[in-house]
């Protein structure tokens, strides 16, 4: 529990209602004893994300995610246990106790807090400079680009007038020059410390907790320096894991379910799209997308529209990003803009509605876009060009994950080249000979395992019909099932159960806690299922006993001495007793099945 006192953690959990917390991230609806939502961790059309208010845990029947309110905040915000506890404690103004951290962790925490504080002060300083006399030129530039004062305030835009003022301001706040370098705000040369963003328009980079983690700086004059500069890597800023405007995306998701995000190339494109009403527009930090960025986007929506600049560089950037997004389970479509224009230009020239109707709605699916881009490398007016294009296109198609997608790609290639479907299919077979798209078989519990989980569910949820004297020791329980049983029999508070189990055990734990929901949310039907599984397991146990006794009885079949004959009769009586019990439970089973 990361060094926190257990009693204090119990108090923290008691201070929060998990339904209230989750409802900030996804609309919830009560149905039966549970609340339901569309899972915020995977895409689904119908809600399968159950929230048990009585026991204060959640479980998704679609992807298997489970946990308590701390685990939910950890997962949804992509933070560690300590950070999740801190945020939940702050919400209810619960004083955070001193917790045990090793010296290295303490030092890292102090440095991180210092960087965040410096970034906050710097963002405010830059913003004030933009709105003051020194920022007149930068302000005129923004207004000329159509960025109004409301957007300037919303995105916290700023201006650095020179290389010295920020340094003096922050050192005046009590920070050292080395602190400023550590935060990525300043550099150091023989003349001392200097603002690395000097003379630039400033775009704060804000995370999903509304913390300023870094900055982007745009040069406003023609210089030998790069047009854009980002904060260098720090303890709070990692370009490969960052999405610009993720804070705005989070706000949008909290207000309503979102179906897609629009991934742009630059800050100004995002601001332009957001101003035009596209409130799910975000930007990657550069054009090389990473798995971390893809996973972040997937938590918000299942579909990503790529909206990079309408030039060769934007085209190549889009191609690099497509595969990474698709590999992480996202649907990808590409918005194709006119040559030489970026999203900001299109919005200015044609307006928001035209952007939606002429570009967003006409975005190309991933494979079609790849095939269209590939056409530029071949002369399709001659036979040799079409043949080479078809071979290269079939190679792209053969990388698809299922036969349906391969066939759809072949139909597109057929339309472009004029080759027969059979010849293209043969080309595909050459590419994937011996390799077939993977078909994932869903793993389901067998009847025996399901019966065990149902009995555990009844006991841990303290159902009045649960049989606490059931001979669980006669069942082949795995270690996790034994741990759950011991917790339940120990009369402990079910609302605190996730604190007792390792994170690797949470998925199956959550599944068992709400196991009956797989069959029905009706309490009477759940009881009927429980009785059926109880009877089934009793029959299994008794049949094993009968088989064992029968084997013993067979050994005394030819008994002659008085002692062996007596043993034989005892075993015979035991067999008769077991058969009567088995028949009794079979009769109960038949009766349950008739209802």
Q: Given this model, what pLDDT does residue 223 score?
A: 67
Structural contact between residues 360 and 329, judged by C-beta atoms closer than 8 angstroms? no
**Based on the structure, what is the number of domains in the chain?**
5
Q: Given this model, what pLDDT does residue 445 score?
A: 56
Same domain, 563 and 493: yes
- The answer to whether residue 439 sits within a structural domain is no
Distance CA 389, CA 371 (A): 9
The residue from 65, 91, 117 where one domain ends is 91
* Owning domain of residue 421: 378-431
The DSSP bridge pattern shows strands 364-365 and 192-195 to be unpaired
- The answer to whether residue 353 sits within a structural domain is yes
Same domain, 177 and 42: no
Distance CA 185, CA 125 (A): 12
Q: Given this model, what pLDDT does residue 200 score?
A: 95
- The answer to whether residue 386 sits within a structural domain is yes
Cβ neighbors of 18 (< 8 A, separation 6 or more) are 51, 53, 56, 57, 58, 68, 69, 72
Q: Given this model, what pLDDT does residue 564 score?
A: 79
Beta-sheet strands, E only, within 395-537? none
Q: Given this model, what pLDDT does residue 434 score?
A: 43
Same domain, 57 and 161: no
Same domain, 456 and 589: yes
Neighbours of 541 (CB within 10 A): 17
CA angle 208, 270, 124 (to 5 degrees): 60
Q: Given this model, what pLDDT does residue 568 score?
A: 81
The DSSP bridge pattern shows strands 331-334 and 303-307 to be parallel
Same domain, 312 and 186: no
- The answer to whether residue 438 sits within a structural domain is no
List the one residue out of 481, 589, 486 whose CA is nearest residue 543.
589
Same domain, 275 and 393: no
List the one residue out of 465, 462, 461, 485 whose CA is nearest residue 473.
485
Distances (CA, A) of 337 to 271, 307, 312, 369: 17, 8, 11, 12
Distance CA 462, CA 19 (A): 21
Q: Given this model, what pLDDT does residue 181 score?
A: 96
- The answer to whether residue 245 sits within a structural domain is yes
Same domain, 349 and 393: no
List the one residue out of 593, 594, 462, 478 whose CA is nearest residue 536.
593
Q: 11 has which bridge partners? A: none
Same domain, 454 and 585: yes
- The answer to whether residue 156 sits within a structural domain is yes
Q: Given this model, what pLDDT does residue 439 score?
A: 34
Q: Given this model, what pLDDT does residue 103 score?
A: 73
Same domain, 291 and 345: yes
- The answer to whether residue 355 sits within a structural domain is yes
Report the CATH number at residue 146. 3.90.980.10
Q: What is the pLDDT of residues 55-78, one digit of tens each?
A: 888 988 878 788 899 999 988 887
The residue from 56, 91, 126 where one domain ends is 91
- The answer to whether residue 208 sits within a structural domain is no
Structural contact between residues 552 and 571, judged by C-beta atoms closer than 8 angstroms? yes
Q: φ, ψ for residue 379 (rounded to 5)?
A: -90, 100
The residue from 91, 121, 155 where one domain ends is 91
The three state secondary structure string of 80-149 is CHHHHHHHHHHHCCCCCCCCCCCHHHHHHHHHHHHHHHHHHHHHHHHHHHHHCHHHHHHHHHHHHCCCCH
Same domain, 136 and 86: no
Q: 37 has which bridge partners? A: 49
Same domain, 420 and 461: no
**Residues of the chain whose pLDDT is less than 70?**
1-3, 98-102, 223-224, 286-287, 310-321, 430-445, 491-492, 494, 516-521, 595
Report the CATH number at residue 48. 3.90.580.10
CA angle 414, 417, 423 (to 5 degrees): 55
Same domain, 483 and 355: no
């Amino acid at each position: 529990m990361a060094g926190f006192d257990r009693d204090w953690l119990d108090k923290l959990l008691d201070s929060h209602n998990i339904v209230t917390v989750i409802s900030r991230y996804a609309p919830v609806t009560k149905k039966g004893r549970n609340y339901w939502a569309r899972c915020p961790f995977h895409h689904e059309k119908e809600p399968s994300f159950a929230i048990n208010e009585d026991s204060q845990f959640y479980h998704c029947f679609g992807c298997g995610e489970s946990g308590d309110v701390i685990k939910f905040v950890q997962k949804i915000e992509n933070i560690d246990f300590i950070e999740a506890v801190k945020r939940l404690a702050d919400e209810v103004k619960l004083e955070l106790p001193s917790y045990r951290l090793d010296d290295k962790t303490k030092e890292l925490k102090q440095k991180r807090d210092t960087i965040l504080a410096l970034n906050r002060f710097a963002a405010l300083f830059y913003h004030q400079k933009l709105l003051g006399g020194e920022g007149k030129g930068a302000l005129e530039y923004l207004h000329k680009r159509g960025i109004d004062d409301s957007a300037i305030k919303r995105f916290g835009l700023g201006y650095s007038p020179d290389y010295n003022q920020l340094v003096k301001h922050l050192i005046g706040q009590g920070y050292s020059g080395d602190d400023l370098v550590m935060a990525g705000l300043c550099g150091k040369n023989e003349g001392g410390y200097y603002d690395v963003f000097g003379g630039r328009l400033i775009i704060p980079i804000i995370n999903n907790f509304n913390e300023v983690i870094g900055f982007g700086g745009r040069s406003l004059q023609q210089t030998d320096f790069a047009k854009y500069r980002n904060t260098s890597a720090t303890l709070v800023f990692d370009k490969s894991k960052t999405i610009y405007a993720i804070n705005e995306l989070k706000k949008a998701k909290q207000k309503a379910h979102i179906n897609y995000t629009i991934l742009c190339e630059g800050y100004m494109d995002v601001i332009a799209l957001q101003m035009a009403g596209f409130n799910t527009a975000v930007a990657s930090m550069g054009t090389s997308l990473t798995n971390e960025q893809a996973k972040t986007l997937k938590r918000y929506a299942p579909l990503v529209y790529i909206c990079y600049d309408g030039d060769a560089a934007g085209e190549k950037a889009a191609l690099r990003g497509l595969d990474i997004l698709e590999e992480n389970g996202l649907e990808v479509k590409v918005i194709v803009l006119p040559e030489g224009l970026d999203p900001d230009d299109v919005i200015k020239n044609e307006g928001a509605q035209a952007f939606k109707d002429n570009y967003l709605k006409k975005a190309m699916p991933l494979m079609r876009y790849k095939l269209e881009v590939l056409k530029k490398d071949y002369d399709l007016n001659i036979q040799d060009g079409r043949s080479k294009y078809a071979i290269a296109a079939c190679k792209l198609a053969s990388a698809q994950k299922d036969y349906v997608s391969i066939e759809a790609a072949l139909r597109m290639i057929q339309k472009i080249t004029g080759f027969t479907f059979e010849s293209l299919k043969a080309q595909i077979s050459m590419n994937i000979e011996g390799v077939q798209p993977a078909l994932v078989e869903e793993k389901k519990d067998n009847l025996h395992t399901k019966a065990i989980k149902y009995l555990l569910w009844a006991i841990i949820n303290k159902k009045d019909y649960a049989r606490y004297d059931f001979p669980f020791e006669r069942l082949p329980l795995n270690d996790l099932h034994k741990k759950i049983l011991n917790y339940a029999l120990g009369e402990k508070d079910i609302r605190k159960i996730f604190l007792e189990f390792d994170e690797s055990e949470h998925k199956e734990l959550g599944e068992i806690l709400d196991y009956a929901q797989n069959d029905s949310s009706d309490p009477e039907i759940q009881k009927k299922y429980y009785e059926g599984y109880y009877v089934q397991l009793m029959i299994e146990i008794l049949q094993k006993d009968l088989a064992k006794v029968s084997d013993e009885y067979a050994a005394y079949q030819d008994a002659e001495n008085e002692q062996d004959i007596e043993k034989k009769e005892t075993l015979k009586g035991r067999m008769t007793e077991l058969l009567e019990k088995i028949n009794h439970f079979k009769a109960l089973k038949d009766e349950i099945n008739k209802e």
